[in-house]
Amino acid sequence: MTNMLRLLLVLIILPALSCTHRYVEVAKEGMSNYEIMVPADADSIVLRAASELQRYLHQISGANIPVADVNRRDPEKHAIFLGSGFNDEVISAHTIGYQAKEKDLYIYGGNPKNTLYAVYRFLEREQGCLWLSPEAEKVPETDRIVLDAATKYRYTPQIETRTVHSRLFYSNHTFADKLGVTYEAFPGYVPGAGVHTFHRFMPEGTYYKSHPEYYALRNGKRLTTQLCLTNEDVLRIVTDSVRSYFERFPDATVISVSQDDNTLHCQCDQCAAIDEEEGSPSGSMIRFVNSVAKQFPDKKISTLLTIDAMLGQNSFEQAKLFKESTNVDGIVLTKMDGTGKGGIVFSIAEQLQLPIAYISFGEKLEDLAPFDPEEYLTTLLG
């Protein structure tokens, strides 16, 4: 009987203990026993993240939660720690996350900007906020902010550069931050070397007169439309030029090695043989870009898959080959001034998981513009 009573007592006590610390109550009826803690050396972005968290938590619950640096922490209060400095784990610069530990809450990113992103994800996922447009958002109101004590979230994006080429984000940086979208056209890139770079690496005014063989052979004539990608000197000069750009801009991590904006590729015997072997004019381009990339293992060499709006379904086979052979990072839709409207590009983008970066309504550099889905659909349906 005594053993039975002990067993009953254990069964009663264990559920009671399991209920302890099951929830973290951040605010109740307009009051809070929390502080938002930032590192003593917090930069302006982390301070902005703290201000945004403070503002939205007040809007949600009516509670005014103070912001203070960690050296001025009130020992009588619980804390919401902001920034990676409070997390002992080694994480990627692009990782975001948050976690409840006992009565405290940690919201962090691998760098200051991603700490700001983490704040917005926390408000979205845990508080139900929605960022609908620069002028419209949904912020629920409640008299109690409560988190499960086991709350834990961490995310590392597979794509580090998440640029959406739209004036919506270029003109509204705060809204872009809320959606985790960068608003630089080519973040991390060497300035001026983000797209169509062959002419930058080998200006025709410098090389064509003395070395026409460096350029595309078309119908028996050397044209400056593209480079001859099987010429060893061309590979050497482009590689040296890429190296020079990285030396001039040591903080840059990416450069584009990409064809100029036309389809007049080289048809010399050597280039044609590779293209025939690969089944597409992209073949010689793929091999050339990969050869350059091998010389810069600590950098990223990007390129562009250019889809001609006139080619239709044939574009998909070309895109598939290109994607299988190299790290394609974007699509340029060209010749939109013709009869083709490039609808195949959406199938390519979806099936190959590639962003549509640019659209061209002509064959000149000034005809190239960032791809804006709304403008494209307006033109297509109009």
Residue 77 has pLDDT above 80, yes or no: yes
Return the top range by mean pLDDT from 84-98, 153-167, 333-347. 84-98
The predicted model gives 185-213 an average pLDDT of 92
H helices of the chain, where?
A: 2-19, 44-61, 112-127, 167-170, 173-179, 198-201, 204-207, 232-248, 269-278, 282-293, 314-325, 344-352, 373-381
Higher pLDDT, 353 or 189: 189
The predicted model gives 52-69 an average pLDDT of 97
Residue 267 has pLDDT above 80, yes or no: yes
State whether residue 9 is helix, strand or coil.
helix
**Phi, psi angles (nearest 5°) of residue 28:** -150, 125
Spell out the domains of the chain, with CATH numbers in brackets: 21-157 (3.30.379.10), 189-302 (no CATH), 304-382 (3.40.50.300)
What pLDDT score does 376 carry?
66
What pLDDT score does 13 carry?
46
What pLDDT score does 187 carry?
80
Q: Note whether 263 and 308 are within 8 A (CB).
A: yes
State whether residue 284 is helix, strand or coil.
helix
Q: What is the mean pLDDT of the chain?
A: 83
Q: Tokens 């201000």 correspond to what residue?
A: 51
Cα 102 to Cα 174: distance, rounded to the nearest angstrom:
32
Conformational region of residue 353, where left means phi above 0, alpha means psi within -120 to 50, and beta covers everything else:
left
Beta strands 221-227 and 215-218 are: antiparallel
What pLDDT score does 37 carry?
96
DSSP letters along 47-104, please?
HHHHHHHHHHHHHHH-----EEEGGG--TTSEEEEESGGG--S---TT-EEEEEETTE
* Chain length of the chain: 382
pLDDT tens profile 303-322: 876 555 555 555 555 565 55
Burial of 121 per CB tally in 10 Å (0-12, 13-18, 19+):
buried
Return all residues near 244 (Cβ < 8 A) that are at least 6 apart. none
pLDDT tens profile 99-133: 999 899 999 999 999 999 999 999 999 999 999 99
pTM for this prediction: 0.66
What pLDDT score does 364 carry?
57
Reported confidence tier of residue 195, pLDDT bands at 50, 70, 90: confident
Burial of 113 per CB tally in 10 Å (0-12, 13-18, 19+):
buried
Cα 351 to Cα 335: distance, rounded to the nearest angstrom:
22
**Encoded tokens for 363:** 């064959």
